[in-house]
Amino acid sequence: MEHALEKGHPHLGAVVLDSPLKTYADPDSTEEHDVLPATVIDRFYDWMSTWRGRGQVIVLENEPIKTETAEVLEPITFTRVRGNGRYGFYPLRDVVNNHLPNPSDE
């Protein structure tokens, strides 16, 4: 994204990272790491909390992050429960009538 924007190439201005830290979050992993997984995870989110580049980076992750980092990043939790926070990444649709629900109903 940064390269495309700097060179004037077309870009949406957003990058989506799906579970970039999954291999570090697996408590059952028997793989040995030179650096503790918690350190990698914390440093990734610390870097994200100070990043001021152009565009937007969206991280889809199942694992919770440190409270102090969450205060800066303001993550959105997908609840998968109608009427309790945001259901998921994509808005819910009323499939029967094929229209988007009223935001106040979510």
Going residue by residue through the chain, which has 106 residues, state the pLDDT in tens, using 9 for 90 and above: 889 988 999 999 999 999 888 876 666 666 676 766 778 888 999 999 998 888 899 999 888 888 998 999 999 988 888 888 888 888 777 655 555 556 565 4
**Is 0.75 topped by the overall pTM?**
no
Residue closest to 5 by CA, chosen among 53, 59, 57? 53
Within-domain flag for 90? no
Domain that holds residue 35: 2-75
Determine the residue type at 73. L
Instruction: Count how many domains the chain has.
Output: 1
Within-domain flag for 13? yes
Residue closest to 63 by CA, chosen among 21, 28, 15? 21
Within-domain flag for 88? no
Within-domain flag for 81? no
